[in-house]
Structure formats: C-alpha cells, structure tokens
Amino acid sequence: MRSDARSLWESITARGVPAGRLHGTSGCVALAELAHASALGGRLAELRDATVLIAIKDQLTAALVLLELDGFVRRLVLCAPDLAAEHYAGVIERSQAEACVRDAASAAAVPLSLRTSVLAEPRLTPLPARPAARHASEWILLTSGTTGAPKLVLHTLASLTSALAGQPPPPQPLVWSTFYDIRRYGGLQIFLRAVHAGSLVLSQAEEPVLGFLERAAAAGVTHISGTPSHWRKALMSGAVTRIAPRYVRLSGEIADQAVLDSLRGAFPQATVAHAFASTEAGVAFEVRDGHAGFPATLLGGGGPVELRVSDETLRVRSPGTATCYLGEAESLRAADGFVDTGDRVEERDGRCHFMGRRGGVINVGGQKVHPEEVEAVINAHPWVRMSLVRARRNAITGAIVTADVVLAEEGGARGARPAGDVLTRELAEHCRQALAAHKVPAMIRIVPALEVSPSGKLVRPNA
C-alpha cells in the first residue's frame, strides 16, 4: 500500500498492472480489466462527489463497485446484504446519502428513494479510460450489533490500510479467500490485502461451505480468513480437506486453544494466526505462535499500534482507528485517542487472555462468569466442536449458567461417539476440574447446531 495514493485503484496499480483476479459466484474478473471498464454501466459521472450508499447483494459486484468509486465519490456507505430493511432510512439520514448503487437482487428487496440510483452488475461495460481520482473518499462501515440500529463508523482508505503500510509485495501473487462479507470490517481488510497482493475468492451469503471451499480450492487458495465460528462450521462440514492453504487466519471472536489446535491438525503445513481487530479500533495485532491469547509484552510496547488494559478491558490507539461515529452522541475514542474495545482481558503468566465482552457477564449470586471462559473449557473436550454458554434466570442466585453443546463429527482418530448422557456427565466433570463451582454449567444440553450470525459470530441471546 502506498501512503501517497489517493485512491484504492491508484494504490493497487502503483507498481504496474495488477495481476490478480476477483472470483465470485457470479463470475470472475481480472483486476486489470477495471482500467478500461465499468461495473456501473459507465454511469460513474452521475455519482461524482456524492455520498453513495452501496447496497448490493452479490459480493463480486460490490468489490468491483468499491474499486471503481473510491477516490471519485465523497463517501462510500457499505451496507452488508443482511442489513434489515427498517434500518435503511436511519443509515441514509445519518450518512447524508444522496445516491445508491444496487444490483438487481438488492433493488428488488429494498425500495430506496434517493436522488440517484445506479444499477451495478458484474458484467463490465467498456470505457475509454478510467477518470483520475478526485479526493480521498470516506468509507462508512456499519457495526453489526445484534439488536438495535447499526452504528455508522467513519474510516478513510489510510486508516483501513494502515496495517498494510510499508509491506512489500509478495514474491508470488497470493490467492486470498474469506468467509466474511467484504462489507464488514474483517472482510474488508481481506479485500484490501488481496487486491494489493494477488487474487480474492469471495464467498456468497447462503452459499454452502462445501461449495465455497471447492471454489477456493479451484482458484488455488493460499491464504484464508474467517471467525472461529466460521472455522468450526467448516471443520464440522468435513470440507476443509478440499483446500491446502499456507496461511489460515481467525478474527472477530475469541480464538480458543481448541479451535487453534483443530486448525493446526487440519492444515499441518499452514501458519495458523489469530488477529484482533474491530470496526472501531482497527487491526491491533496478529498472533502466530499457535497459542490462545497474546503476549503481555504487546501491552505498552512501541510501534504504531498502542495497546493498554484499563478497567480490565483492552484499549487500542493506532493509525487504523476509525475517526468517529456519524450521527451518534457517543464518541468513538476517548480524549487521549484510545478506543475502548469492550473486550475483557486477564493477564496470566505473561500471556493476556480474552475473557469475553464486558456486557456479556453473567452474575451468579454476585459472582461474575464470562460465558466465553466457560465455552473455552467446554470446547477443549475432544468430543466438542462448539458451545454456547448463557444465563438462565434463577430465583435463588439471580442467574445460573447453562451450556448448549454441538458435538464433534464422528470418525477419524476419535472413533465412535459415546452416548449423549455419558458425554454430558463427562463434560460437567471436565468443567468442575477446570472452573470454580459457580462457573460450571448447571445444565448441559447437546444440540444439533448453534446459530451463527451473518457476520460470522455466535449469536448470544443475552447480549
């Protein structure tokens, strides 16, 4: 990434014609084609200097539109395809959107009344030449809260690409892929990395994991990212054997030791890395040593990303931090520039461990329980693939802890699975060995599946 580039297109063409391709379910486009072609039917001029809502169902189309519009419009407002219809009016008002770009599928789903509406498609229209960038566009990302309206987070191309600054191009082009949608922070990071380093295989909402990984394999995927929940689902599907990446990345949720170990087992040749990033704080760090948590030496260390723990939660200040929220009274950063991530961190033996979200704590008779801490213990059991720990109301202690557990697939080294009641007793005993009594689930229920949100995170009913 060149720090003096005025647009994403200038940045990825700084060293010459880009060699990579974008692979979607709707087709495949060579990045080089975008020098003289448009996904907007040549209607770019109508969007000049405008604030443009990007509401597109197809990921490939969205990727092409972002590459075409950045540097040419005032603001890009990125709506993920699962944004609920009732939230559009608020997003338009707070972002001051004047125009929208949609594809046929999204236009049919949500009617929007904006001054200008442009239809995009992955089939490109030839153009004589691409116009020069006019200014640095603002990028507005929406937070994916489970309840209420999303917040609008203002970034710039410089803040979004700060983690790439000064990185040399790879000797061989990489083939990136991600389970994420590129309209979310985690996916957008991969999109920006990929177009600077090679190619990208885009997933599509509702696409079965097997089909997606087969497409990634066909494109020769070398680098792939997702949340721990994405990866657990992929491991359960058995489809991970289709790919042989060199680099596997987890972010967006706590990567516990069990999921790290499972991925190392599935991809013995790959580097398994887990990263901490959030829409507001930006990319904070990446850990490649295969262990959960991060070295305490990262706190208060030098470098552009500053980390500290105060009031038991992780705070981040970096060039990757977002500028502000749009249309919110709440400020995104403290006066000193640090962003409160809301993620609780505990230091043990020189290692910082994520304990869970500040708002997610269960209170059992005055004693705190972080669901994620209990889940990490349950997930370490060889017969568990994923789990959800939640509060159940209780007249005696206010709440008690319960757990829903998805079992690991049969076969392989594990052999035949014991009966359900044997396993729940074994799991309860396993928890009692590792946890204080109030943290041990009073009930453990085996369930066929757990809900994962469109952002790739476990859905927490109490959150």
**Chain contacts with other proteins (rule: CB under 8 A):** 364-365, 392, 394-397, 400, 402, 428, 432, 437-438, 442-443
Query: Distance of CA 345 to CAs 101, 130, 307, 341, 353, Å?
Result: 41, 48, 11, 10, 5
Closer of 129 and 395 to other proteins (Cβ): 395
Measured from the CB of residue 440, what is the shortest distance to other proteins in angstroms? 8
List of residues 6+ apart from 122 with CB closer than 8 A: 24, 26, 27, 29, 39, 58, 60, 61, 64
List of residues 6+ apart from 189 with CB closer than 8 A: 160, 163, 277, 283
Phi, psi of 443 (to 5 degrees): -135, 135
Closer of 296 and 442 to other proteins (Cβ): 442
Measured from the CB of residue 366, what is the shortest distance to other proteins in angstroms? 10
Q: How far apart are the first and last CA of the chain?
A: 37
DSSP designation for 149: P
Measured from the CB of residue 442, what is the shortest distance to other proteins in angstroms? 4
Closer of 257 and 397 to other proteins (Cβ): 397
Measured from the CB of residue 436, what is the shortest distance to other proteins in angstroms? 10
Residues 193 and 220 sit within 8 Å (Cβ to Cβ): no
Residue 458 bridge partners (DSSP): 452
Measured from the CB of residue 381, what is the shortest distance to other proteins in angstroms? 17
Q: How far apart are CA 29 and CA 34, in angstroms?
A: 9
Instruction: Please give the structure tokens belonging to residue 259.
Output: 């999921």
Closer of 414 and 445 to other proteins (Cβ): 445
Measured from the CB of residue 398, what is the shortest distance to other proteins in angstroms? 9
Residue 308 bridge partners (DSSP): 315
